[in-house]
Chains A and B, each alone.
Chain A
Amino acid sequence: MSEAAHQHGEPTGFIRKYIFSVDHKVIGLQYIGLGIVAVVIGMILSWLMRLHLGWSTLAIPGLEKLSPTGAPANVMTPEYYLSLMTMHGTLMVFFVLTNVPFAGFGNYFLPIQVGAPDMAFPRMNMMSFWVTFTAFLVLIAAFFVPGGPPLSGWTAYAPLSAVGESSGPGEGLGQTLWGLSIAIFCVAQLLGALNFIATTLDLRTKGMSLARMPFSTWAWFITSVIGLLAFAVLLPACILLVLDRVAGTSFFVPGGLVINDRMQPHTGGSPLLWQHLFWFFGHPEVYIAILPAIGIVSHILPAFLRKPLLGPRVLIGCLAAIGFLSYMVWGHHMFVSGMNPFSAILFSVPTLVITIPATIATLLWIGSVYGARIRFSCASLFCLGFISVFISGGISGFFLAQPSIDTYLHATYFVVAHFHFVMGVAAIFAMFAGIYFWLPKMVGRMMNETLGKIHFWLTFVGVYCIFMPMHYLGLAGNVRRYAAFTDDFLAPLVPVHQFITIAALITGAAQFIFLYNLVWSRFRGPKATENPWQATSLEWSTTSPPPFDNFGGRQLVVHQEPYLYGVEGSAGDYVMQTSPETVEAH
């Protein structure tokens, strides 16, 4: 085993150590860093969009520089609004929500939590990051090509995405780059998933039985299995989409289509086919984003509740059930697509069934919090915030799962509010919790708790101010994907949009407190001890930050369940997983 760790040896050159590194810890940080870059770009794009929605004639200085045709005189065109929306969605879903909780934290902590010196395939691991990075560059390139970024949303619905330039600016090279970028991203995810699965199953240290793995490890493992099957469908779908665009095929374009007075040369394809392929990936993708978040929160919470979560086996069962069911519900994104209404019922039922494991998990968290003497810290606050937004976003899911209600709400801001809460904000809160909890381990310094708590409260109140009113907008019939609201029935809603915009600007600005805290703590924060949170899992049995082979040549042996809090142990009210002492059943 120790030969294994030293097989590669610790590299000394800067490039081998920090750039093309095979060390899973460096790769994890690279994923997190890429995610931070993507989230900043994505957030700035959302600011631009929000400003335009609130004040549609407002000139935003400098916008013309970014795109002379997209924003003449610094006011964005409706098409450019759609471009920004597409890039916002794509960056956030793929490069933030998929990359950070799964690939980022997973790379860093999965091997450590199972007691391994590295991933099963370190070089493949390095490759998967750099392939992801390539996908990122290809996507960003779409900003700078003639026509600008694509208009078709992160879902790239055909035929708009498939017919080429004649359908609008950005539907030329920009959309082709989008298709290529996502195809490349799929390859990276497949490599990553293989690695995670092999590492979890094969590299567990002595005593780390599957039942003793922490929730986070379980979540990363289940997510890898989901990703292995979901990205395998998106990959050919993107390639076929690119073929439609560049090779003249008609997979997704029907015959007789006239766009901008031009008869399209395609015949006989099916736009619905794209939706089936996309959502067969797209719904599991939602869980690829949220399962690691659930795992991270379930891992962090017990350390601050100072007691184990209720029903740990049930919780893992819920994660597996969610993963399994995620493949049966893709049609609930397509209730208004024109597919057979009877199939809507077929997809509605499993969608309602999937709420059962999600609800059980939520009740287990709430039941565990009840009566606990919580240690409030930034990490635990963000965990509690996660539970709050997960519930708020989840409840609207019950409504949207019914085809009859969804038919009214689907194209409105109600859906925007729903998925931002349950997928976006919830996963982001888990990332914040993860960073406040694990940064001491990753860089060896504590974060500033006061700044962190200010950050939490501004963010927590802010996201509710942003997304709660969107439910009312949706119920009032406010259509999504409109660049401005000039219709008579929408004009009275504009003040609500202005309120949301102001909330979004403030909430976004509050994130700079976090970035400042992150940078300040990295260099000036107080030194972290090996186990600052008095937590039990294996990452707290090594130095902060861990050495190259994670445990400095030691071979850990696991003796305990992962979350022995609230018990009499030699270290205090907890017993480490590596502690050989006998613990009485509780």
Chain B
Amino acid sequence: MSDVDITTGMGHAGFMEESPYGIPSGKLAMWCFVISDAVTFSAVLFVYGYLRIGSPDWSTPFKFSPTILNGIVMTFILLTSSLTMLAAVEAAKAGRKSAGFGWLCATALLGALFATLHLFEWGRMIDDGWRLFQNPLGGSVHFGAAFFSITGLHLLHVVGGVCALAVIALGYRRGGYNSIDVEVTGIYWHFVDLVWMFVFPLVYLMNAQ
């Protein structure tokens, strides 16, 4: 991450104009990415709403057990992982290296657990006959298309985040990454969590029986 080091916004006071936000460039870029990615998710959720409103035969197949219950457990896990991420950032800022490493690993593990539960959920739906183009209940075929593409996009973000957390955790322990890198990863991770707070009610709760 030497690119970020060049422009951490620290240490060049006196040589350069202050950044109007007073934050390192890496962090600024991550915030911009988050804004852009939020627009991407909004577009996909807009597609879902547009098609759902246009489909008189929309299916609402999810039973409280197992689907919604599973979703609540997943939500709990992801929220907890945001908490551990927060602890990792705090530890890294305070310079407590091994604690920071531990919390990062915990976050990655919780993310992996979330992804695993999600994939089981997918497997169960696929067994029931749900496809991108098929609705076993005979209602609108858009249900599968919307469900798999929205949760799939989110799942990609989670998996990408777990990989990033693993890389950052190892690099942070070895000294290749600093507390700012941990914080930047944290911004991404909280964003992934935040997106789920939209996906869960819109895709799961609104489709409960």
Contact = CB atoms under 8 A, between A and B. Distances in A.
A194 B40 contact: no
B51 A202 contact: no
Nearest to A225: B32
A124 B133 CA distance: 37
Interface of B is mostly: helix
A197 B142 CA distance: 38
Contacts of B132: 243, 247-249
Given A206-B17, A233-B40, A269-B142, A1 B12 contact: yes
A122 B1 CA distance: 11
A202 B28 contact: yes
Nearest to A125: B3
B145 A232 contact: no
Contacts of A1: 12, 15-16
Given A232-B39, A273-B47, A205 B142 contact: no
Contact of A4 (B6, B28, B32): B6
A555 interface: yes
Given A201-B19, A270-B50, A232 B7 contact: no
B29 interface: yes
B100 interface: no
Contacts of A268: 51, 54-55, 140-142
A201 B28 contact: yes
Contacts of A250: 133, 141-142, 145
B153 to A, nearest CB: 8
Interface residues of A, number: 50
Nearest to B9: A202
B75 interface: no
Interface string A161-195: 00000000000000000000000000000100111
B7 A210 contact: no
A198 B54 contact: no
A273 B25 contact: no
Nearest to B133: A248
Given A198-B32, A201-B28, A233 B51 contact: no
A232 B43 contact: yes
A208 interface: yes
B133 A247 contact: yes
B35 interface: yes
A209 interface: yes
A194 B29 contact: yes
Nearest to A186: B40
A237 B28 CA distance: 26
A203 interface: yes
A555 B15 contact: yes
B7 A120 contact: yes
B32 A228 contact: yes
Interface string B1-43: 0111111010010111101110001001100110111011001
B51 A251 contact: yes
Contact of B14 (A118, A206, A235): A206
B44 A236 contact: yes
B154 to A, nearest CB: 12
A447 to B, nearest CB: 34
A235 B153 CA distance: 12
Nearest to A118: B6
B149 interface: yes
A7 B2 contact: yes
Nearest to A557: B15
Contact of A206 (B15, B46, B51, B140): B15
A569 interface: no
A63 interface: no
Contacts of A120: 3, 6-7, 25, 29
Given A205-B16, A240-B47, A193 B145 contact: no
A201 B29 CA distance: 11
A194 B133 CA distance: 36
Interface string A220-252: 000000001101110111001001000111110
B43 A277 contact: yes
A204 interface: yes
Contacts of B39: 229, 232-233
Nearest to A227: B36
Nearest to A7: B6
Contacts of B16: 1, 203-206
Interface in A518-549: none
B29 A198 contact: yes
B47 A251 contact: yes
Contact of B28 (A198, A273, A277): A198
Given A198-B25, A201-B20, A232 B40 contact: yes
Nearest to A117: B6
A350 interface: no
Contacts of B141: 249-250, 267-268
A54 to B, nearest CB: 42
Contact of B17 (A208, A237, A251): A208
A269 B44 contact: no
B126 to A, nearest CB: 14
A121 interface: yes
Please indicate which of the listed interface residues B21, B33, B47, B51 has the most CB atoms of chain A within 10 Å of its own CB.
B47
A123 interface: yes
A208 B17 CA distance: 7
Nearest to B19: A202
B115 to A, nearest CB: 20
B27 to A, nearest CB: 9
A243 B149 contact: yes
Nearest to B37: A232
B3 A121 contact: yes
A78 interface: no
Interface string A107-140: 0000000000010111110000000000000000
Interface string B142-167: 10010001000100000000000000
A122 B19 CA distance: 19
Interface of B: 2-7, 9, 12, 14-17, 19-21, 25, 28-29, 32-33, 35-37, 39-40, 43-44, 46-47, 50-51, 54-55, 131-133, 140-142, 145, 149, 153
8 contacts: A4-B6, A120-B7, A123-B3, A233-B40, A240-B44, A251-B51, A270-B50, A273-B47
Given A202-B25, A205-B17, A270-B50, 20 more contacts: A1-B15, A7-B2, A120-B25, A120-B29, A197-B32, A201-B28, A202-B7, A202-B9, A203-B7, A205-B15, A207-B17, A233-B43, A236-B40, A236-B153, A237-B43, A247-B133, A249-B132, A267-B141, A273-B47, A276-B50
